[in-house]
Amino acid sequence: MQKRILTAAFIVASLPAAAQAIRDSSNREAMQLNMNDVVITGQYAPNSKENAVQKIEVIDRVKIDAMAAQNLRDVLTNQLSVRISQDAIFGAGLNIQGSQSYGEGAKILVDGVAIIGKQNGSIDLSQVNLNNIDRIEIIEGPMSVSYGTDAIAGTINLVTKKTQSTPFETIVGAYYESIGTYNISMDAGLHKGRHTILLNGNRNFFDGWSPNDNAGFFDFKAQPADTGRVAQWKPREQYNAGMQYTCALNKLSLNYKSNYFYETITNRGMPMLPYYEMAFDDYYHTRRFDNAFFANARIGQHKRINFQVAYNDYKRVKNQFTKNLTTLSDILTPGQQDTSRYNECSSRATFSHSNGQARISYEAGYDISIQNANSTLILDQKQQMGNYAIFASAEYKPFSRFTIRPGLRYGYNTRYNAPLVPSLNILYKPGKNWAFRASYAKGFREPNLKELYFDFVDINHNIHGNDDLAAEYSNNYSVSAVYTARYQQLDYRVNCAGFYNNIKDLITLASVSGGAANEYTYVNIGKYRTQGLQLGTDVTFKHISLSLGTAYTGTYNALSENNDVPKFSYSPEFRSSITYSIPPYGLSASLFYKYTGRFITYIADAANNTLQAYTGDYHIADATLSKSLFNKHMDITVGCKNLFDVKNIIAYAAGTAHSSATGTAAIGMGRYYFVKLNIKFHKQ
């Protein structure tokens, strides 16, 4: 497979030269490709991604619909340098640029407001619904100057729909998967003059799945009792409701949004010996209630004030019941209940001056957040932490094609010493077609309240937090080159990028020297490095769109310092997508494919022997077919996901000459089919 990856990389890399030859032979001047997607993440004012100093990728609503994506996990599965992990209880986490801990190095925002409620160090991507999302902006590398903690390896900003073109609009949707997914949704909007009100709601239900389940559209065969009691992918039910109000005045825009989310995950246990009449069943209830207010004002032609204040509340309850499988009665299991609640009050404001013709543009602002934690597993069951920061950056153009953007963030934290965070971005555009970017940024991740004040002691555990922890921090270096052009009806874009991350003071759970048996605490002892290359191209010809990309990511082996193992272990990726549209018939077909290479690491066993461990490679492919009917009042999409029928991959640890361990990691639910229907009503 590596040979195929290198072949694809060679083809991608050779495209600019081929395009240059075509251009010269026709004696035509290439024009810049019209791919100026508007971006707002980290910008002084709405900007095109081609003119942004950062390397930004935009996933618009058209692509989200083409993928039939229901949540953020579905979208990111096809992204380069992003790996998705799956946990039966904690859900889907992500790894960007080889960051060591899934989710710890990435910040996920909705309209610039962070999503709270990490479990196992990560936001569950399958809890992030996409019904009201207009586009997704992804920036790889630290954005800590603008967004603070967690933005070490990348920032993902989900931009919601704010307005509509018709006075009244309603969309009713239904989605079905042959593995037992049943989703319904409804969106409604009212627009009159300066006022827009948007409402949305959905109910998502998943019946659970195990490798032996039938993947046909319907299964009418009789099944033995309780064969589905224990599922590898746990049943879950989600309810989501939101509203958004926008008032657009002359030079002032006011926006208020509120969203409520509730989820139940059911984890049914195996019947217990000796009579198999009892079982332990766990129920995990998650509730999110998010509120935010935004005010954006223009002062003159080039000055802006952006203000936001938000309150986010997160609650997770675990209940365990002892189930009598004969009478079907159940009772709460003593000592096996847990309730955790987190809330965050935050405020952020910026003042910016942005003029594309001026030599200097700038931005300054503040960022405040106050976090509260209430949990039976937190010291004293209640803790609070406050973050107060100011930040500033400026874009200086010594000449029209060259932009330098330095930035600095200074913060104060009530629980630890916050680091000073600098950044430097450079954009050079020598002509209409080329754009070169280089950047240095310092990122950081603050210790969370769990790592500071965790207190869990029972017969099997003795884990304590550490209030002396410092922040993790990283130094990120990245470079990229982009070539965009148009030749007659052919548009193409070729990009090449490289990155290097040096992460220090990693927060790690370690045993306490001289402490009690099995006593653990969190310490700053870890360090980690990642580096990688990316190549990609996007081509559009008439009604055909093609996207290709490959990545090669290396992760640091800490054991290489004292053992004979490679300093870095590398893993390849390759992705592609193609869409063919026939506008007169309202028809489009898409194919999405991604190869994720084998991931190798080295570990030490109890006898200090060095072991090689790896997770296997796999291929994921989805095919969709969409059709618009009744003058675009009805859209129907059908397709097949996970064409290669991937379920579990090998997770292998090679031991000494006398031992080894082999397990599996859940990746997919096999091949399954889906149908999606949207019906739209609107009044002109």
Render pLDDT for 554-566 as a digit per residue (tens, 0 to 9): 999 888 888 888 9
Closest-CA residue to 640 (of 664, 655, 623): 623
DSSP code, position 502: E
Q: What is the mean pLDDT of each run of 10 residues along the chain (684 residues)?
A: 42 41 36 58 92 94 95 94 87 82 72 92 92 94 88 90 91 96 97 96 95 65 64 96 96 97 96 91 97 96 96 96 93 90 97 92 98 90 94 96 97 90 96 95 88 80 87 92 94 96 86 72 86 97 96 91 90 97 95 95 75 90 97 96 94 54 83 97 83
Query: 636 CB contacts (<8 Å, ≥6 apart)?
Result: 626, 627, 629, 675, 676, 677, 678
Global pTM reads: 0.90
Element containing residue 4 per DSSP (H, E): helix 2-26
Going by C-alpha positions, the residue among 321, 319, 322 that lies closest to residue 278 is 322
38-220+230-683 belongs to CATH 3.40.50.300: no
Find all residues with CB under 8 Å of 384, minimum gap 6, and list them. Answer: 370, 371, 372, 373, 414
pLDDT on residue 28? 35
> Can you give the pLDDT at residue 224?
52
| Per-residue pLDDT, 658 | 41
pLDDT at 2 (0 to 100): 43
Q: Which residues contact 348 (CB under 8 A, 6 or more apart)?
A: 112, 307, 308, 365, 366, 367, 368
